[in-house]
Amino acid sequence: MAAPAQPHTRETWPIAVCMHGFSPVLRDGTRLHDASPDVWDGIFRRVASVGFDAVEIADSHIRPADLTPARRGELTAVARRHGIDLISAHVQRQSVIEPGKGEQNLAYAHRAIDAAAEMGMKIFSTGLHQPFTEAQRKALWFWTAQGPVDPDDADTRALAVTRLRELGEHAASVGLPMSLEMYEDTYLGTADSAVRLIEEIGLDNVGLNPDIANLIRLHRPIEDWLEMHEKTLPYANYWHVKNYTRDESADGSWQTSVPTSMELGLINYRETVSRAIELGFNGPFLMEQYGGDSLGVCATNRDYLRTLLPESAQN
């Protein structure tokens, strides 16, 4: 993907935080989406208290597409009051090829793009992963249970390309890049398939979110993390980063993983971030963490990531 005209530096590179550290449902049963601006204020106050100045609004927590214009204005104003940039709208588990719901999800994604543009966001993020299965909802870590699988079917893949291209064209018309998140058992589930999907879509503003950590955490054989990055980083325009420790038997009979910090996990981010920048990556980073003090770990990871970024602009 082409880099923006103004490359970032260590101090200016946009690094946002996910919303995993906050429950999508309040103690009284109110969904965060429906909460008062005072509740949102508390969220952004805590985000700012650990040094973040940008947040990804994931629709698992708040759905900008389903807020009224007045509520979107309230959300934006509350964030700005704390110096927080709403950097991206992330539509997840709303696949445009989900059986029985693909057209509905497509229409929802279009509304999300318009909402993101209205709110001054910098990127529209989505993917092809579908809602959790019952087994995933019951598991301690959802990635240890089998989820939905995109069919090995040329017509369904072609439909995915057509619908994602439609979304990409819409995003381009309102000045937004669109990024597709890599995720297991989807057409974005391997490096080769993900790259081919981007090439099939064929739009300059549509790139990859090379969230390889989604794949290394799986309790099954995986592709080599370094090779996956080498294939996908040239197409990256947004990047969810997190890490996992991983262990597996030599005979391939078992695999296991646990969330950890960026510095300690299987992926060597010192190497991959350097390579990404060498290849022209200049998009935002999004810090993710499952389990524990997600917000605190994301802040620690952000500080580590800053040390990996160039002190001066790369031209």
Break the chain into its structural domains and give their ranges.
Answer: 15-308
According to the model, what pLDDT value does residue 7 have?
A: 82
- Per-residue pLDDT of 110-147, as tens digits, reads 999 999 999 999 999 999 999 999 999 999 999 999 99
Please state whether 234 falls in left (phi above 0), alpha (psi between -120 and 50) or beta: alpha
Estimate to the nearest angstrom the gap between the alpha carbon of 171 and the chain centroid: 17
- Per-residue pLDDT of 2-45, as tens digits, reads 334 478 999 999 999 999 999 999 999 999 999 999 999 999 99
- Per-residue pLDDT of 201-237, as tens digits, reads 999 999 999 999 999 999 999 999 999 999 999 999 9
Q: What is the pTM of this model?
A: 0.95
User: Cβ–Cβ contacts within 10 Å for residue 313, how many?
Assistant: 11
Check residue 235 and report its DSSP letter. G
116 close to 178: Cβ distance less than 8 angstroms: no
Token representation of residue 124: 């529209």
- Per-residue pLDDT of 260-306, as tens digits, reads 999 999 999 999 999 999 999 999 999 999 999 999 999 999 999 99
Residue 315 has pLDDT above 50, yes or no: no
- Per-residue pLDDT of 143-201, as tens digits, reads 999 999 999 999 999 999 999 999 999 999 999 999 999 999 999 999 999 999 999 99
According to the model, what pLDDT value does residue 6 have?
A: 72
Angle between helices 69-81 and 37-49 (to 10 degrees): 30
Please state whether 283 falls in left (phi above 0), alpha (psi between -120 and 50) or beta: beta
3-state DSSP: the chain helix, strand, coil percent, rounded to 5? 40, 15, 45
Of residues 80, 79, 61, the one with CA closest to residue 22: 61
Question: Rounded to an integer, what distance in angstroms lies between the CA atom of residue 13 and that of residue 30?
Answer: 35
**What confidence tier does 314 reach under pLDDT thresholds 50, 70, 90?**
low
Question: Rounded to an integer, what distance in angstroms lies between the CA atom of residue 298 and that of residue 304?
Answer: 10
Mean pLDDT of 97-103: 98
- Per-residue pLDDT of 59-69, as tens digits, reads 999 999 999 99
CATH topology of domain 15-308: TIM Barrel (3.20.20)
